[in-house]
Structure 1
């Protein structure tokens, strides 16, 4: 019995010694990280180096604005604005000119695209051409949208390049057809994103400004008489206009009066005819017969 007990004690001692050795070996096999490696990160067994400091991303903005100004000759000022925009390297997206008339004042409406860095100069030029009555400028940050498009375009470009290589090394027709189908889809997505990026870059590079040019208040015609004689003339003209308008109304109503008169005559004639037809016959003319008086006995 003592022999079995001693054997069990020996086995337990050897087991404990083995566990201690394995722990020491494991501690020796994993060296303590040095200060230089303390910034490394292990993700899924792969060691990644920390990202290097990147330069700050340039802010990208879409600038839109509205400007209203008055001038003595809006049409001429609108054409001067076109020349100014051409000198700045911009373009005209829309131009509407309305010459002055008796019922409407002259005006010009423009939608111009000017370089974003020339916005201040553009506003100064407009103040030289007329009196600026209102200015509204809006800036929209599209930096994240631009970065997202760049990343997606880069990924699709790499995918297209890989698919082109697969098509070149395709071993059979099935693989070739599958690779060409995938390449067509990737190329379509790449073309769409490239167009979006081009449009966004154009909006960032050129500010959009809508300009309305109208006449000044001093140039507008007077709406009422300024003295007694002008008041008399205005009243006389108003009377003549009223008479002329009344004559026109009477002339327009005459045909209706005639039509109503004809209808009235027809109705009256029918009424007389019906009355004559329904009249009872008159008694015969001549002396009335004498009644015989009853004789009394």
Structure 2
């Protein structure tokens, strides 16, 4: 009998121990989230994935670049670049063409705006028109600036809407004047920020490229003579050029010589007249006075 009672007590102890263990496991705190894990804890301790609307903000950039190209005909290449820009829906902000001359080589300079998404395509098209000697592209992140403008524009738009409602329901003239003054200030700030946002959006949408097109680098022929006969001919041409240049100089100086000669004659004539009038005249009649003889006694 005692053995049955002892067995019953042992069995009851085991049942109570199992219940206590299960209660202790359920009362343990949920595991802490791992640092850097973007998932949040649900009720009951389960990890929850981030919502889809919490995606990172799209990066906004202003792209500028510098491209140097050499070609046989820079002017023609510059006009082809204009056609390429029109084909991708861009625009040309500046175009300078310099035809070739004896003293200066031909060249073209352009500032173009092309869609930022078509920048790679535009650079590939430029490589087909000539030899690209250098390419430099810079990207400036303006995401925070764009978001700040959007927030300020939204706040000012709400403020303008409220002020318009106050003006419509103004009870007296003083309130109406105060609301109109505040509305004028808010509207001016809103227009300024809207213009800044429009300019920034244009700079983001269109990349700016400055393109310089020059002639192909070729070795210039030597300008000096290579033998005796060429030296003799070069000297003869130099002599003729010197004579021609001297004749031109003399022809240019002859009128000045005539003018100086006239001035000199006028000055000399005036000097002669002055000297003539200032010289005393000698008597032309009568006898010359005789010298008195000294008395010598």
TM-score of the superposition, structure 1-length normalised?
Answer: 0.68
Distance 1:199 1:290, change over 3 A: closer
Spell out, residue by residue over 1:3-57, the C-alpha distance to the aligned partner (whole angstroms, 9 max, x if none).
xxxxxxxxxxxxxxxxxxxxxxxxxxxxxxxx99xxxxxxxxxxxxxxx995333
User: 2-side partners of 1:292 and 1:109: how far apart?
Assistant: 110
Matched, 1:171 2:171: yes
Cα distance in 1, alignment partners of residues 158 and 288 from structure 2: 135
Partner Cα separation in structure 2 for residue 128 and residue 243 of structure 1: 52
In the TM superposition, 1:69-84 aligns within 5 A as 69-84=69-84
Per the alignment, residue 223 of structure 2 pairs with 224
Q: Which residue of 1 aligns with 2:242?
A: 242
- In the alignment, what sits opposite 2:215? 215
Once the two structures are overlaid, the 10-residue window that deviates more, 163-172 or 224-233, is: 224-233
Shift of 1:207: 0.9
Q: What whole-Å deviation, never above 9, does each CA across 1:231-268 have from its counterpart, x for those lacking one?
A: 44443333222111111111122222233334444444
Distance, in Å, in 2 between the alignment partners of 1:179 and 1:262 is: 86
Matches within 5 A, 1:72-221: 72-218=72-218
SS of 1:58's equivalent?
Answer: coil
Give the C-alpha shift of residue 121 in structure 1.
Answer: 2.7
SS of the equivalent of 2:70 reads strand
Following the alignment from structure 1 to structure 2, what is the Cα–Cα distance between the partners of residues 295 and 74?
A: 119
Displacement after TM superposition at 1:203 (Å): 0.4
Distance 1:194 1:223, change over 3 A: farther
Q: RMSD value over aligned CA atoms?
A: 3.5
- Tell me: CA distance 1:76–1:231, structure 2 relative to 1, closer, same or farther (3 Å): farther
**Whole-angstrom CA distance in 1 between matches of 2:269 and 2:149:** 91
Deviation at 1:293, TM superposition (A): 9.9
Describe how 1:242-281 pairs up with structure 2 within 5 A. 242-269=242-269, 278=279, 281=282
For 1:139 and 1:243, how far apart are their aligned partners in 2? 62
Q: Partners of 1:223 and 1:282 in 2: how far apart?
A: 85
Residues 282 and 84 (structure 1), Cα distance of their counterparts in 2 relative to 1, 3 Å cut? same
Which stretch shifts more, 255-264 or 188-197? 255-264
Q: Quick one: structure 1 residues 226 and 144, their matched pair in 2 at CA, closer, same or farther if it must change by over 3 Å? A: farther
- Contact 2:225 / 2:234 at 8 angstroms: preserved in 1? no
Q: Distance in 2 between matches of 1:188 and 1:287?
A: 114
For 1:221 and 1:236, locate their aligned partners in 2 and report how far apart those are by CA, in whole Å.
Answer: 24
Cα distance in 2 for residues equivalent to 1:189 and 1:81:
40
SS at match of 1:217: coil
